[in-house]
C-alpha cells in the first residue's frame, strides 16, 4: 500500500527530461523524494523526433531519480505539449430519460462522452474535455449541476485536441523505457496547477510557460480553464539567434544567454564586452552586451506578441473576460533578466514570475522551486490526485459491498457496485486504448 502513495511526474521537454518522485506529507503538501534530469536530445518543439534518443534520456532521468529516492518507478504521468495541440469550444446537451431524478455523475459522464464522439480532422484525437459551465433546462451559468432536477443538461466545453501520432510516439517512448503510462496531461494545465493560486484562477489569469521548444498558454477565469494554446517558439530559438548573430557555437550561445542575457536592451552600455574563446587556434570573439540583448529582445518580443494575440483572441479586453490577476510567467525561459518588465510593457498587464512552491512542503530543496520544474511538479500533483481518487472509489466500493452483505434479504445495494468499477474517465479509456495499441505494436 505504501508504494501506492507515491507518484511520478515525467516532463518530456525539448531541452530536458525530468522525472520527479513524490508523495503527500501529513499536511497534504508535496514532498519530493527524488528528482532526475537528463538532456533531451530527441525532442523538437515539444514533439518526439528521435525515438531511440528519447527513450535513453527517459531511462537516464528515471534511473537518476530512482537512485536519489531509493524507490522503484513503475508508472508515470506524462505531459504533452507541442505545436500540434489546438483547442476549440463546443457546446452539447443530453436529454435525460427521467427528469424526476436528480442529476448525478453519470449524467455528466454521458455528456462528456458525447463530446468525445465529435468528429475531428484526420489524424487528430481529443486529449481533454473540460466542462466550463452548465445549463439545466433553461437556467444558465451553473457551476455544479449534480443534485439538481432537470430534463435537459447542457454545457460549454473547452476541448483540447492533439495529433494521434505524436501522442502515440510519446506513449511508445515511455513504454519502451520500461514504464507504464498512467495518465497524459496537457503541460500548460500541469504547470498551472503547480504555480497558480486559487484566487488568481478566480480573478482571471494567463499562465505563460516558456520552455525550450514551445511556449504554452493557459487562461483561467472564475476558477475555470478558458483557453489553452501552444506556440512553437521557446528559449531555443533565442539561443539559435545568438548563435547565428554572433557566429559562435550553441554551447557558448546558451551560456551567454543565461549569464549575461537580458530582454531589455536599454540598460547595457556600449562598453560592456564579453570575450569568447575562439574555436581551435582562432582568435577570441568580442561581443558587446548591448548587441546580445538586442538579439534577445527582438526574439522575446516576437514570442510575447504571439502569446498576447492568443490572450486577445480569448477576449481579455471585454468586461467579462478581464484578467484581473494579469500574467504569470513560468518555465525555464522565464528566468531571463528583465523579462517581466518587457511583458508588462508589451501587454500592459501585471506580471509575476511563477515558482512552483505553492504546494511544496516547507523543507523542500531550494532548487525544486525553480520555474523550470513547474511542469514536473504539476504532473506529480496530478499523479497523486489520481491515486487519491482511486483510493476513494475503492473505499466506496468496499462500503457498498459491506452494505450488501449486511442486507442479505434485499439484494439491491450489491447491484450498485457495478457502475463504480466500470466508471472510467474517458482519459483512462484513451490511455488504455493507447496501451493496447502499443502492446500490439511491439
Residue 243 has pLDDT above 60, yes or no: yes
Residue 299 has pLDDT above 60, yes or no: yes
27: exposed, middle or buried (C-beta count within 10 Å: 0-12, 13-18, 19+)?
Answer: exposed
pLDDT bin (cut points 50, 70, 90) of residue 418 is: very low
| Residue whose grid cell is 534577445 | 296
Question: What would the mean pLDDT of 79-84 be, rounded to a whole number?
Answer: 87
pLDDT bin (cut points 50, 70, 90) of residue 365 is: confident
Q: What is the CATH number of domain 1-84+164-195+358-442?
A: 3.30.420.40
Q: Nearest to residue 176, comparing CAs of 385, 405, 12?
A: 12
Question: What would the mean pLDDT of 230-253 be, rounded to a whole number?
Answer: 92
Residue 93 has pLDDT above 70, yes or no: yes
Does 1-84+164-195+358-442 match 235-299 in CATH topology?
yes
Q: Nearest to residue 82, comparing CAs of 182, 220, 188, 191?
A: 188
Q: Does an H or E element contain 185, and which?
A: strand 180-186
Residue 303 has pLDDT above 90, yes or no: yes
Of the listed ranges 187-191, 198-202, 269-273, the least confidently predicted one is 269-273
Using a pLDDT cut of 70, give the percent of the chain over it.
Answer: 90
**Interatomic CA distance for residues 261 and 251, integer angstroms:** 14
pLDDT of residue 426: 54
Whole-prediction pTM = 0.86
Residue burial 125-141, b: 16+ Cβ < 10 Å; e: rest: bbbbbbbbbbbbeeeee
pLDDT bin (cut points 50, 70, 90) of residue 439 is: low
Question: What would the mean pLDDT of 106-110 be, rounded to a whole number?
Answer: 91
SS3 99: coil
pLDDT higher at 270 or 422: 270
Calculate the average pLDDT of the chain.
Answer: 87
Residue 269 cell numbers, joined:
552600455
Is beta strand 205-210 parallel, antiparallel or unpaired with respect to 215-221?
A: antiparallel
pLDDT higher at 429 or 110: 110
Q: What is the CATH number of domain 235-299?
A: 3.30.420.40
Is beta strand 273-276 parallel, antiparallel or unpaired with respect to 152-163?
A: unpaired
pLDDT of residue 109: 92
**Interatomic CA distance for residues 86 and 83, integer angstroms:** 8
pLDDT digits (tens, 9 = 90+) for 150-174: 999 999 999 999 999 999 999 999 9
pLDDT of residue 412: 46
pLDDT of residue 366: 80
**Interatomic CA distance for residues 166 and 123, integer angstroms:** 10
Q: Where are the domains of the chain?
A: 1-84+164-195+358-442, 235-299
pLDDT digits (tens, 9 = 90+) for 1-24: 344 589 999 999 999 999 999 999
Task: Give the CB-side neighbour count of residue 30, counting CA atoms within 13 A.
Answer: 31
Q: Nearest to residue 283, comparing CAs of 275, 291, 292?
A: 275
260 and 288 Cβ atoms separated by less than 8 Å: no
Residue 57 has pLDDT above 90, yes or no: yes
pLDDT of residue 253: 93
Question: What would the mean pLDDT of 23-29 be, rounded to a whole number?
Answer: 87
Of the listed ranges 235-239, 267-271, 429-433, the least confidently predicted one is 429-433
C-alpha angle with apex 106: 103 to 109, nearest 5 degrees?
A: 115
pLDDT of residue 349: 94
Amino acid at each position: 500500500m505504501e508504494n501506492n502513495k507515491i507518484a511520478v511526474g515525467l516532463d518530456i521537454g525539448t531541452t530536458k527530461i525530468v522525472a520527479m518522485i513524490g508523495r503527500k506529507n501529513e499536511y497534504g503538501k508535496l514532498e519530493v523524494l527524488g528528482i532526475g534530469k537528463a538532456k533531451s536530445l530527441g525532442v523538437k518543439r515539444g514533439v518526439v523526433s528521435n525515438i531511440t534518443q528519447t527513450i535513453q534520456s527517459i531511462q537516464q532521468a528515471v534511473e537518476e531519480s530512482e537512485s536519489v529516492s531509493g524507490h522503484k518507478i513503475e508508472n508515470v504521468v506524462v505531459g504533452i505539449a507541442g505545436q500540434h495541440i489546438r483547442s476549440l469550444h463546443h457546446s452539447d446537451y443530453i436529454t435525460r430519460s427521467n427528469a424526476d431524478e436528480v442529476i448525478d455523475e453519470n449524467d455528466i459522464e454521458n455528456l462528456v462522452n458525447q463530446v468525445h464522439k465529435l468528429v475531428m480532422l484526420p489524424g487528430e484525437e481529443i486529449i481533454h474535455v473540460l466542462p466550463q459551465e452548465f445549463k439545466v433546462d433553461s437556467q444558465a451559468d451553473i457551476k455544479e449541476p449534480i443534485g439538481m432536477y432537470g430534463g435537459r443538461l447542457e454545457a460549454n466545453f473547452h476541448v483540447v485536441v492533439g495529433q494521434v501520432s505524436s501522442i502515440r510516439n510519446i506513449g511508445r517512448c515511455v513504454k519502451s523505457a520500461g514504464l507504464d503510462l498512467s495518465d497524459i496531461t496537457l503541460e500548460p494545465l500541469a504547470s498551472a496547477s503547480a504555480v497558480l493560486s486559487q484566487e488568481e484562477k478566480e480573478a482571471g489569469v494567463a499562465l505563460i510557460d516558456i520552455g525550450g521548444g514551445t511556449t504554452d498558454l493557459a487562461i483561467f477565469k472564475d476558477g475555470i480553464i478558458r483557453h489553452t494554446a501552444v506556440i512553437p517558439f521557446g528559449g531555443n530559438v533565442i539561443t539559435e539567434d545568438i548563435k547565428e548573430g554572433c557566429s559562435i557555437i550553441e554551447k557558448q550561445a546558451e551560456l551567454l544567454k543565461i549569464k549575461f542575457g537580458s530582454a531589455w536592451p536599454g540598460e547595457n552600455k556600449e562598453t560592456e564586452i564579453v570575450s569568447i574563446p575562439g574555436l581551435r587556434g582562432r582568435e577570441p570573439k568580442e561581443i558587446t552586451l548591448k548587441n546580445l540583448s538586442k538579439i534577445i529582445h527582438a526574439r522575446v518580443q516576437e514570442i510575447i506578441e504571439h502569446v498576447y494575440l492568443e490572450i486577445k483572441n480569448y477576449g481579455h479586453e471585454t468586461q467579462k473576460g478581464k484578467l484581473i490577476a494579469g500574467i504569470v510567467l513560468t518555465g525555464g525561459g522565464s528566468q531571463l533578466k528583465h523579462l517581466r518588465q518587457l511583458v508588462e510593457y508589451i501587454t500592459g498587464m501585471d506580471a509575476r514570475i511563477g515558482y512552483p512552491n505553492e504546494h511544496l512542503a516547507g523543507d523542500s530543496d531550494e532548487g525544486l522551486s525553480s520555474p523550470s520544474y513547474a511542469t514536473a511538479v504539476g504532473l506529480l500533483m496530478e499523479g497523486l490526485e489520481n491515486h487519491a481518487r482511486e483510493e476513494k472509489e475503492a473505499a466506496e466500493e468496499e462500503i457498498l459491498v459491506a452494505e450488501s452483505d449486511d442486507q442479505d434479504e434485499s439484494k439491491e445495494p450489491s447491484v450498485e457496485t457495478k457502475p463504480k468499477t466500470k466508471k472510467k474517465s474517458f482519459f483512462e479509456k484513451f490511455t488504455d486504448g493507447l496501451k493496447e495499441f502499443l502492446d500490439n505494436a511491439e
